[in-house]
Amino acid sequence: QERRTNSFSYSTYHTLDEIYSWIDNLVSEYPKLVSKINIGHSSEGRPLYVLKFSTGDNKPAIWIDNGIHAREWITPATGIWTAKKIASSYGKDSLVTDIIEQLDIFLLIVTNPDGYSYTHSTNRMWRKTRSINVGSQCVGVDPNRNWNAGFGGPGSSSNPCAETYHGAYPHSEPEIKSVADFILDHGNVKALLTIHSYSQMLLFPYGYTNSLAPDHEELNELAKKAATALSSLYETRYTYGTTIATIYQADGTTTDWGYDNGIKYSYTFELRDTGKYGFILPASQIIPTAEETWLALVEIMKHVKDHPY
């Protein structure tokens, strides 16, 4: 058991229990800034814990989630490092302090805890949730095809055995419903950042249609700035653009749902790819990945702070 966040190893991958224990430690070390909110449960009953970074007063908020695809281990690892960075920078780094004094930050480190747990116990390459599909032997839904935005379109699959199965209906997955309900109930989320791996891309709406978002130009400019900031540290090359134009048509995704529900700054990160390991990114790359991603996150958070709407 690692009882203090300072002695926690940020350069290795951790189980769900270790991550949840670490969350408690972070909250106890920064009680005036960080709190833990249980926003719901997974289909197998695991809690969904969100870290809230706030100085009080229910300010406009930035949402960040990691680990929606179970096998993308680098994303919760990056989320842990990011949480510590936010907490330890407040009051020391003027930009981070300014951001937190004007905006709350919600950080979900493991969006798909059932899947994540399954990757540690049974199948390292599992991607989906672990919900039962009535009438099928195949388990799980792709949680990034389950959102109510272009749900069920050709950029997803109706086959429960497929990796991109969209589920029986929008928000059928309790993990997705919990997040969607939380964000809608909050009512003042201004940015939604969802962290994936491993294509080195920064994507924004839309994925389900070729139509450009009304805020396309601003989103594109900000993506360019964020990708440039990210690359400045280790020269990691990022491409950016709309999901549909940059990679493929994808229906029912987080960012499209966010944008369609009034959250202008909706982005998907695809973290680094060494070109050699795919999802099995060596643990030695966790901290460099988190460090470079942080620069892009800060660029976006600063823009959100400076452009209220």
By CB under 8 A, tell whether 187 contacts another protein: no
By CB under 8 A, tell whether 9 contacts another protein: yes
270 is catalytic: yes
Q: What is the CA radius of gyration of the chain?
A: 18
> Which listed residue (198, 208, 265, 294) binds another protein by CB under 8 A?
198
By CB under 8 A, tell whether 123 contacts another protein: yes
What counts of helices (H) and strands (E) characterise the chain?
Answer: 9, 8
By CB under 8 A, tell whether 168 contacts another protein: no
How far is Cα 283 from Cα 79, in angstroms, rounded to an integer?
Answer: 14
By CB under 8 A, tell whether 278 contacts another protein: yes
Looking at the Cβ atoms of 45 and 275, the one nearer to another protein is 275
Catalytic residue among 72, 173, 270, 299: 270
**CB-based contact 248:242 (threshold 8 Å):** no
Stretch that binds another protein, among 146-154, 217-225, 242-250, 257-265 (CB under 8 A): 242-250
Q: Minimum Å distance from CB 286 to another protein?
A: 11
Nearest to 97 by CA among 301, 309, 307, 308: 301
> Which listed residue (233, 280, 287, 295) binds another protein by CB under 8 A?
280
Helix 16-29 vs helix 74-89: angle between axes, to the nearest 10 degrees? Answer: 10
Determine phi and psi for 65, rounding to 5 degrees. Answer: -125, 150
Residues 6 or more apart from 152 whose CB is under 8 A from it? 158, 166, 251, 252
Q: Minimum Å distance from CB 53 to another protein?
A: 27
How far is Cα 236 from Cα 274, in angstroms, rounded to an integer?
Answer: 9
Looking at the Cβ atoms of 130 and 264, the one nearer to another protein is 130
Stretch that binds another protein, among 109-117, 179-187, 211-219, 275-283 (CB under 8 A): 275-283
How far is Cα 118 from Cα 43, in angstroms, rounded to an integer?
Answer: 13
By CB under 8 A, tell whether 3 contacts another protein: no
Site string for another protein, 20-59 (x = CB under 8 A): ----------------------------------------
How far is Cα 39 from Cα 287, in angstroms, rounded to an integer?
Answer: 28
Looking at the Cβ atoms of 180 and 203, the one nearer to another protein is 203
Q: Minimum Å distance from CB 121 to another protein?
A: 8
Q: What is the DSSP string of 33-52?
A: TEEEEEEEE-TTS-EEEEEE
Alpha helices in 125-261 (DSSP H): 174-186, 216-234, 243-246, 254-260
Q: Minimum Å distance from CB 248 to another protein?
A: 4
Nearest to 223 by CA among 244, 211, 207, 241: 241
> Which listed residue (163, 181, 215, 260) binds another protein by CB under 8 A?
163
Applying CB under 8 A, the residues found at the interface with another protein are 9, 11-13, 121-125, 163, 198-199, 246-249, 273, 275-280, 282-283
Query: Catalytic residue positions?
Result: 270
